[in-house]
């Protein structure tokens, strides 16, 4: 990762690293020149293919699987040669980052359709002032429902140390990934100075939940308005919270306070998404897949498995065909 004055951080273009988390066998993750886990892409159009951009967090980024096995890439393979699916996902990004990326960066990419992927586990928390790391843009609503935006801090010596020492040292990264996450006090300190991008998610009070949804409402409204102004259809893909999903499948007994918190967030987000013409919810399909013996999430609560990515690609492709048809007036044929 490297510093970004708007988003707090972004992928470091052209680098590779050995990935060991949530995998049976370590593998090399390579980022393209734009800092995304994808094949080489150009921002400008170079041919007549229909270009679809997938915006989201680590579930879109998909370090856990080969680059051609993410649901973004698999959807492109299903759609065929007349399509190009572009992975714009980055771990640590939440709905606030997706809004800022849409506002300030998405227009650099020549696209026909945008897929906004929302993960119910923490996407509303990632950029909320109560939960977020100090290194990312943070948002809150005041008593009147007015949105307040706190940009990421300017680059300082701590950020330089993070980006130029920790990020470039194999030994430092190994210690960081395998030892330090087991020390809660250190993780909280690292989050407070911007070394950790992920939020500290805990049970929210009703007032804080209302604020989470107030912020989310502002962001979703702005994203929809920005894309409408640009003439870009949007497909919203909603990935369920595995904690809630596993409880509802009776795979574990969830804590009542956590369950209430996450159900209220899911319900509130559902209401906000009613304003979008195309929303694809993966929950029902994932539940059926698990009932059929399929592992959708790694270790039941992590990122998507290879099978989970295939299931998600199968789910999203029909919505993409419909969005392209509505946008262009043509009905594209699905690939092999």
Range from 55-64, 117-126, 150-159, 326-335 carrying the lowest mean pLDDT: 326-335
Give dist(CA 12, CA 31) in Å, integer: 7
The answer to whether residue 224 scores a pLDDT higher than 90 is: yes
In-domain check, residue 141: yes
What average pLDDT does range 311-333 have in this prediction?
A: 86
User: Is there a contact between 59 and 93 (Cβ–Cβ < 8 Å)?
Assistant: no
Write b or e for each residue in 212-232: b if 16 or more Cβ atoms lie within 10 A of its Cβ, otherwise e. bbbbbbbbbeebbebbeeeeb
Range from 11-20, 83-92, 279-288, 294-303 carrying the lowest mean pLDDT: 11-20
Give dist(CA 60, CA 26) in Å, integer: 19
The answer to whether residue 186 scores a pLDDT higher than 70 is: no
Give dist(CA 148, CA 64) in Å, integer: 35
List the one residue out of 79, 93, 41, 87 whose CA is nearest residue 318. 79
Measuring CA to CA, how many Å separate 115 from each of 3, 129, 273, 312? 25, 26, 14, 13
Give dist(CA 172, CA 224) in Å, integer: 41
| 277 Cβ neighbours under 8 A, 6+ residues apart | none
Interstrand relation of 8-10 and 27-30 (parallel, antiparallel or unpaired): unpaired
Measuring CA to CA, how many Å separate 79 from each of 59, 70, 84, 296? 20, 14, 9, 22
In-domain check, residue 156: yes
Residue 166: its pLDDT value, please?
A: 67
Host domain of residue 167:
2-327
* Tens digits of residue pLDDT in 112-146: 999 999 999 999 999 999 998 888 999 999 999 99
Q: Which residues on neighbouring strands pair with residue 87, listed in sequence order?
A: 54
Residue 142 sits in a domain of what CATH number?
3.40.50.1110
In-domain check, residue 335: no
What average pLDDT does range 239-250 have in this prediction?
A: 96
Give dist(CA 119, CA 58) in Å, integer: 9
Residue 156: its pLDDT value, please?
A: 78
Beta carbons within 10 angstroms of residue 81's beta carbon: 11
What average pLDDT does range 182-210 have in this prediction?
A: 65
The answer to whether residue 297 scores a pLDDT higher than 80 is: yes
The answer to whether residue 301 scores a pLDDT higher than 80 is: yes
What average pLDDT does range 25-41 have in this prediction?
A: 97
- When the pLDDT of each residue in the chain is averaged and rounded to a whole number, the result is 90
Percent of the chain at pLDDT exceeding 70? 85
In-domain check, residue 336: no
Write out the two tokens for 286: 């994932």
Give dist(CA 141, CA 144) in Å, integer: 8
In-domain check, residue 332: no
List the one residue out of 164, 285, 301 whose CA is nearest residue 242. 301
In-domain check, residue 334: no
The answer to whether residue 293 scores a pLDDT higher than 70 is: yes
List the one residue out of 150, 93, 88, 147 whose CA is nearest residue 122. 93
In-domain check, residue 242: yes
List the one residue out of 281, 270, 335, 330 whose CA is nearest residue 113. 330
Q: Structure pTM?
A: 0.90
Write out the two tokens for 220: 């979703």
Look at the chain and report how many structural domains it folds into. Answer: 1
Give 161's pLDDT tier (boundaries 50, 70, 90).
Answer: confident
List the one residue out of 151, 146, 122, 117 whose CA is nearest residue 134. 151
Write out the two tokens for 59: 């579930």
Range from 17-26, 160-169, 314-323 carrying the lowest mean pLDDT: 160-169
What average pLDDT does range 84-107 have in this prediction?
A: 98
Residue 192: its pLDDT value, please?
A: 53
Q: Which residue has the tokens 């911007």?
A: 194
* Tens digits of residue pLDDT in 35-54: 999 999 999 999 999 999 99
Beta carbons within 10 angstroms of residue 55's beta carbon: 28
Residue 241: its pLDDT value, please?
A: 96
The answer to whether residue 169 scores a pLDDT higher than 80 is: no
Q: Which of 8-12, 86-90, 184-188, 331-335 has the highest mean pLDDT?
A: 86-90
* Tens digits of residue pLDDT in 259-279: 999 999 999 999 999 999 999
In-domain check, residue 221: yes
List the one residue out of 332, 308, 309 whose CA is nearest residue 320. 332
């Amino acid at each position: 990762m490297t510093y970004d004055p708007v988003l707090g951080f972004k992928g470091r273009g052209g680098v590779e690293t050995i990935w060991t988390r949530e995998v049976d066998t370590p593998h090399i993750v390579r980022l393209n020149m734009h800092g995304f886990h994808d094949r080489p892409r150009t921002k400008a159009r170079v041919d007549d293919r229909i270009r679809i951009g997938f915006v989201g967090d680590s579930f879109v980024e998909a370090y856990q699987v080969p680059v051609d096995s993410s649901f973004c890439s698999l959807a492109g393979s299903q759609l065929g040669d007349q399509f190009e699916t572009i992975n714009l996902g980055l771990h640590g990004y939440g709905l606030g980052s997706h809004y800022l990326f849409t506002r300030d960066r998405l227009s650099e990419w020549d696209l026909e359709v945008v897929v906004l992927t929302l993960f119910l586990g923490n996407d509303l928390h990632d950029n909320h002032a109560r939960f977020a790391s100090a290194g990312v843009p943070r948002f809150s609503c005041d008593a009147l429902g007015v949105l307040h935006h706190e940009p990421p801090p300017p680059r300082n010596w701590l950020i330089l140390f993070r980006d130029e020492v920790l990020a470039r040292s194999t030994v430092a990264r190994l210690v960081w990934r395998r030892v330090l996450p087991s020390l809660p006090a250190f993780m909280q300190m690292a989050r407070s100075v911007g070394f950790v991008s992920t939020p500290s998610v805990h049970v929210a009070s009703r007032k804080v939940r209302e604020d989470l949804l107030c912020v989310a409402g502002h962001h979703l409204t702005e994203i929809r308005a920005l894309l409408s102004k640009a003439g870009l259809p949007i497909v919203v893909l909603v990935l369920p919270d595995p904690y809630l999903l596993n409880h509802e499948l009776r795979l574990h007994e969830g804590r009542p306070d956590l369950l209430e918190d996450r159900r209220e967030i899911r319900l509130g987000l559902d209401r906000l998404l009613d304003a979008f013409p195309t929303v694809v919810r993966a929950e029902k399909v994932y539940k059926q897949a698990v009932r059929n013996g399929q592992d959708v999430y790694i270790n039941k609560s992590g990122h998507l498995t290879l099978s989970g990515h295939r299931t998600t690609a199968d789910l999203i492709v029909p919505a993409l065909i419909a969005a392209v048809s509505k946008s262009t007036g043509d009905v594209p044929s699905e690939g092999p």
